[in-house]
Amino acid sequence: MYKISLITGDGIGPEISESAISVLNTIHDKLDLKFDITKLSAGDNALEQTGKALPDETINAIKQSDACLKAPVGESAVDVIVVLRRMLDLYANIRPAKSYPHMPALRDDIDMVIVRENTEDLYTGKEFRVGDSAVALRIISVSASKRIAKYAFETAKQRNLKKKVTCVHKSNVMRITDGLFAKACTDVSKDYPEIVFEEMYVDACAMNLIRQPQEFDVVVTTNLYGDILSDESSQVVGGLGMAPAANIGDNFALFEPVHGAAFDIAGQNIANPSSFLLSIKMMCDWLGVKNNDSKCIEVGEKLESTIFDLVKTGIKTKDIGGDMSTSEFTKQITDNL
């Protein structure tokens, strides 16, 4: 049995959390893999009710769980996810983008993953005012850059597809910070002669994600660029509704959709729960590998194929061209699992 902490979040968070709970319970009933789920509060609602966006009870419950699922939170995201990533040293943010049949993707042969450094860059929140100006400190260290580069090369090795790592930066302008990141990746690349290594400026990468997305395999980049490029890569394969993410450290991991709280569609039962459900698939992979539990990996694969088999037959939510509500689409998944 795996103990799962579940932050239900804001906006569409509670709706897609209900979908996740329903799927996890079905996995227990039908596939005999038990998840003990603890619902937790964090984000705008928690801030309003308790005065803290990330209450202590939530932190303690997360630390006692085997893995955390996090639905999106609203305006207070920086006080929740950015804090959790740093507190739990979840240094690798993994954001896959793959084209599946019958998805509104740019092409049908895209299979890439963004490996985003998750603890540094402009996300450390070190901002201040000096007279007329506002200043932000951008911190990029050799140790964190080498650590994420190693993760990217190991990912390329395991994927065994194009065996390519693209290091994305802007060292022609930010010579010291991005220069350090590029050099750290280049240094690590020497330990992986079997993997093709290339560098690309972030603006060129943004263009190439539209022009020739099929050429990418593993993209390794700094925190802010990774955030922006992964919204783009999600759209390239069909939209934020189908984009999962993992935040991985050496001992713990947190799984969440790439998208935000989507307040514009909250409470309407039209959100696509797939990003969050595909995050459960990533969680099953991680738990399975960590615990040498092949059944857990198989369950994740079953969940993924169930979702995409439905999409293939035209059973979809509105954001990707269908007419199913969140709850109807979830029911189709639980029926078919």
Closest CA to 237 of 100, 64, 36, 62: 100
User: The dihedral of CA 145, 146, 148, 149: what is its sign?
Assistant: positive
Which of 32, 132, 194, 264 lies at the binding interface for ligand ATP (CB under 6 A)?
A: 264
Where do we find the tokens 């950015």? 82
Which of 96, 238, 260, 300 lies at the binding interface for ligand ATP (CB under 6 A)?
A: 260
**CB-based contacts of 147, cutoff 8 Å, min separation 6:** 91
Closest CB to ligand ATP among 62 and 77?
A: 77
Closest CB to ligand ATP among 84 and 240?
A: 240
Q: How far is the CB of 257 from ligand ATP (least distance, A)?
A: 6
Contact stretch for ligand ATP (CB under 6 A) within 173-181, 201-209, 270-278, 293-301: 270-278
8 A C-beta contact, residue 21 and residue 54: no
Question: Per rule CB under 6 A, is residue 261 in the interface with ligand ATP?
Answer: yes
Q: How far is the CB of 137 from ligand ATP (least distance, A)?
A: 22
Q: How far apart are CA 172 and CA 80, in angstroms?
A: 33
Closest CB to ligand ATP among 7 and 12?
A: 12
Closest CB to ligand ATP among 257 and 288?
A: 257
Q: How far is the CB of 29 from ligand ATP (least distance, A)?
A: 25
Q: How far is the CB of 231 from ligand ATP (least distance, A)?
A: 7
Put residue 183 in one of left, alpha, beta given phi > 0 → left and psi -120 to 50 → alpha.
Answer: alpha
Asked about 111 being catalytic, the answer comes back as no
Pull the structure tokens for residue 15: 């709706």
Whole-Å CA distances, 82 to 74, 85, 96, 155, 215 = 13, 5, 20, 23, 31
Question: Per rule CB under 6 A, is residue 278 in the interface with ligand ATP?
Answer: no
Pull the structure tokens for residue 16: 């897609």
Q: How far is the CB of 155 from ligand ATP (least distance, A)?
A: 23
Q: How many CA atoms lie within 13 A of 64 on its CB side?
A: 10
Binding track, positions 3-22, relative to ligand ATP; x by CB under 6 A = ---------x----------
Q: How far is the CB of 233 from ligand ATP (least distance, A)?
A: 14
User: What radius of gyration, in Å, describes the C-alpha atoms of the chain?
Assistant: 19
Of the residues 227, 281, 302, 316, only one is catalytic, namely: 227
Asked about 285 being catalytic, the answer comes back as no
Question: Per rule CB under 6 A, is residue 319 in the interface with ligand ATP?
Answer: yes
Identify the DSSP state of 314: T
8 A C-beta contact, residue 111 and residue 99: yes
Pull the structure tokens for residue 205: 């990468």
Of the residues 89, 111, 231, 293, only one is catalytic, namely: 231
Where do we find the tokens 């991991």? 253
Whole-Å CA distances, 285 to 148, 288, 337 = 19, 5, 17
Of the residues 203, 250, 323, 335, only one is catalytic, namely: 203
Asked about 231 being catalytic, the answer comes back as yes
Closest CB to ligand ATP among 77 and 195?
A: 77
Footprint of ligand ATP on 86-145 (CB under 6 A): none
Which of 17, 26, 222, 272 lies at the binding interface for ligand ATP (CB under 6 A)?
A: 272
Of the residues 170, 281, 302, 316, only one is catalytic, namely: 170
8 A C-beta contact, residue 254 and residue 67: yes
Asked about 203 being catalytic, the answer comes back as yes
Active-site residues: which are they?
Answer: 123, 170, 203, 227, 231
Q: What is the contact surface with ligand ATP in residues (CB under 6 A)?
A: 12, 77, 240-241, 259-262, 264-265, 271-272, 275, 319
